[in-house]
Structures are given as structure tokens and as C-alpha cells.
Amino acid sequence: MKTIIWDVDDVLNNLMEEWFENHWLPSHHECRLKYGDLVENPPDKLLGTTLNEYRKSLDEFRKISGSQFKPTPEVLDWFKTYGSKYRHIALSAVPLSLANISAAWVYQNFGNWIRSFNIVPSPRDTDPVFNYDLSKKDFLSWFGKGDFFIDDNLLNIKEARKIGIQSFVFPRPWNEGELGLTELLKQL
């Protein structure tokens, strides 16, 4: 049975879109951007803020609403139809201090299929310095069992391909998705 490694935020869910529309815009009335304008991730420069302030806002939103994120509908439908044909693991770049929220969300929404939740901590000033892995490539190299990898971050995709994992760019405004979402899911 082949193994699919799924990124969580902005793949299994729509974190950036939900954060932007439900947290950032209501408290930044001067912002004239739309979600589709967020062609960089992180979008701190586009938003006219610092990376730390952006992360603080995103983390605050995850604490408040993280258990209520909606799964990406097309992905959830795919899991319902084809999920039992593969093994699945989640690999997220979530802050260590918030990993419990992300893990609970994954198991609540995809627990019928995803049985392993793993993180490469997204750095925060309050988190410990020590990390086993500094990148998803480091984790994937150590793990050594992935057949397919799906992520919205182009660097993660390129690095996974370098170590021989067939990888798919999940289409988002900040990347150059090679396939549309429907085509990507058909490739699996």
C-alpha cells in the first residue's frame, strides 16, 4: 500500500484564506487586498506588517478558531472515495506550541484515514531551540516511507523531489501550481 504525505495548512484546510477573511481583514479595514492577491507566503510584506506580527496574528487565529477550520471540500471528498486505498500521514510546519490544535483538527476531520501526525516546527521566539528536523526534507529523508507528497510550498516540493518522492504542488495564490486541484487529485 502506497503512502501519501499531506501538508495540513492550506492543503487539508484553507487556513490562510480563513485567517485573512475572518481575522486579518476585520481588524485592518484599510487593507484593500483580496485573498487571491496573497501571492507571497508569508504575506507580511504584502500586508505592510512584520513577519513577527503576521505570525502573531495567524497564531492568535489558530488558538481562537483552529478547531473550527473547514476541511478543503475536494480533498475531503477524495478521501471519502479513495482514502482507503493508501496509507496517509500528516506533515505540518505548525508552531510547536500550537501543534496540539492542528493534530486534534486533523484527527477530527481526517482521522478515518490519517493515522500519523508529524511536525517540523515553524519557529517562534517562545519555542525551544532544539528541533529534530529543520525542514520537511529532513523529516522526509529520515522517515523514508513516502511515495507521494502534497504541499503548497514550492521549496518543500522541490526538496522532496530531490530525494525521490513524487510531489504535487497544491494550488494556492502564492505558488505556481502545476495542476489544478481536480487534476492533482486525479493523479493520485
The CATH number of residue 164's host domain is 3.40.50.1000
- Domain boundary (68, 85, 104) is at 68
Q: Is 2 in a helix, a strand, or coil?
A: coil
State the Cα–Cα distance between residues 102 and 148, nearest whole angstrom.
Answer: 21
Residues 8 and 26 in one domain: no
What is residue 9's predicted lDDT score, i.e. its pLDDT? 97
Overall number of domains in the chain: 2
Per-residue model confidence (pLDDT) at position 109: 98
- In this structure, the answer to whether residues 179 and 134 fall within a common structural domain is yes
* pLDDT value of position 177: 77
Sign of CA dihedral 155, 157, 114, 43: positive
SS3 83: helix
pLDDT of residue 188: 80
Entry pTM? 0.94
End of a domain among 26, 51, 68?
Answer: 68
3-state SS class at 186: helix
Are 89 and 106 part of one and the same domain? yes
Q: Which of 23, 52, 68 is the last residue of a domain?
A: 68
What is the rounded distance in angstroms from the CA atom of residue 148 to the CA atom of residue 168? Answer: 8
User: 79 lies in which domain range?
Assistant: 3-14+71-187
The answer on 85 and 41 residing in a single domain is no
pLDDT at 137: 95
Name 89's bridge partners.
Answer: 5
Distance CA 157, CA 34 (A): 26
Q: Which of 135, 137, 134 is nearest to 164 (CA)?
A: 137
pLDDT of residue 101: 97
Alpha-carbon span 175 to 93, nearest angstrom:
17
Residue 180's pLDDT is 79
Are 127 and 176 in the same domain? Answer: yes
Q: Which pLDDT tens digits describe the chain residue by residue (188 residues)?
A: 999 999 999 999 999 999 999 999 999 999 999 999 999 999 999 999 999 999 999 999 999 999 999 999 999 999 999 999 999 999 999 999 999 999 999 999 999 999 999 999 888 887 776 778 889 999 999 999 899 999 999 999 999 999 999 999 999 999 987 777 878 788 88
DSSP SS3 for 187: helix
Residues 43 and 130 in one domain: no
Shared-domain flag, residues 125 and 166? yes
Q: Are residues 103 and 180 in the same domain?
A: yes
Distance CA 42, CA 114 (A): 27
Identify whether residues 34 and 81 lie together within a single domain.
no
Q: Which residues contact 76 (CB under 8 A, 6 or more apart)?
A: 109, 110
